[in-house]
């Protein structure tokens, strides 16, 4: 059973819609062509009735699928959160971003600055650096870890 935990480690069960959306996001990461890591992100409405955009990590459209070992980029692939934000066109409705991985500092800053009304960030697995979560929390974006 999936549960959701906040920074105070208070856990709650997920609704059926939430579980289905999280499983969808987790399955989406398999589409990534990145050789280093496979990550997916989804922007959804707070009631989980609408998916606004999806993103997976990888190379630029129509070019190399993975930049992690490329001379073209010293930073690797475009991150799933970045691709998700780029594809979103709705800036008014409150949203939740679900990601299969905790955000890096750059992605967290982009989430804050994107002006797309993200109220919560849910993630499945940890990243090596937890500073991205602090950036989100400082911007009053509620952060939750999904316990799979």
pLDDT tens digits for range 82-95 = 999 999 999 999 99
* CA–CA separation, 1 and 146 (whole Å): 11
| % the chain with pLDDT above 90 | 70
Compute how many other C-beta atoms are within 10 angstroms of the C-beta atom of residue 9.
Answer: 7
* CA–CA separation, 46 and 69 (whole Å): 37
The predicted model scores a pTM of: 0.90
State yes or no: pLDDT of 74 exceeds 70.
Answer: no
List of residues 6+ apart from 8 with CB closer than 8 A: none
Question: Is the C-alpha dihedral spanning 132, 68, 82, 3 positive or negative?
Answer: negative
At 72 the pLDDT is 55
State yes or no: pLDDT of 4 exceeds 90.
Answer: no
More confident residue, 54 or 68: 54
Average pLDDT over residues 33-51: 94
Please report which confidence band the pLDDT of residue 36 belongs to, taking 50, 70 and 90 as the band edges.
confident
Q: Return the SS3 of 1.
A: coil
Average pLDDT over residues 53-74: 74
């Amino acid at each position: 059973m999936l549960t959701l935990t906040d920074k105070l480690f208070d856990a709650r069960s997920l609704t059926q819609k939430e579980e289905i959306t999280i499983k969808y996001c987790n399955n989406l990461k398999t589409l990534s062509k990145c050789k280093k890591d496979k990550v997916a992100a989804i922007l959804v409405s707070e009631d989980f009735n609408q998916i606004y955009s999806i993103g997976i990590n990888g190379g630029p459209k129509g070019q190399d699928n993975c930049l992690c070992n490329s001379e073209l980029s010293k930073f690797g692939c475009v991150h799933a959160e970045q691709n998700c934000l780029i594809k979103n066109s709705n800036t008014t409705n409150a949203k939740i971003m679900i990601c299969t991985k905790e955000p890096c500092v750059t992605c967290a800053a982009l989430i804050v600055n994107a002006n797309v009304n993200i109220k919560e960030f849910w993630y499945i697995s940890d990243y090596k650096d937890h500073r991205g979560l602090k950036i989100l929390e400082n911007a009053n974006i509620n952060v939750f870890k999904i316990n799979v």
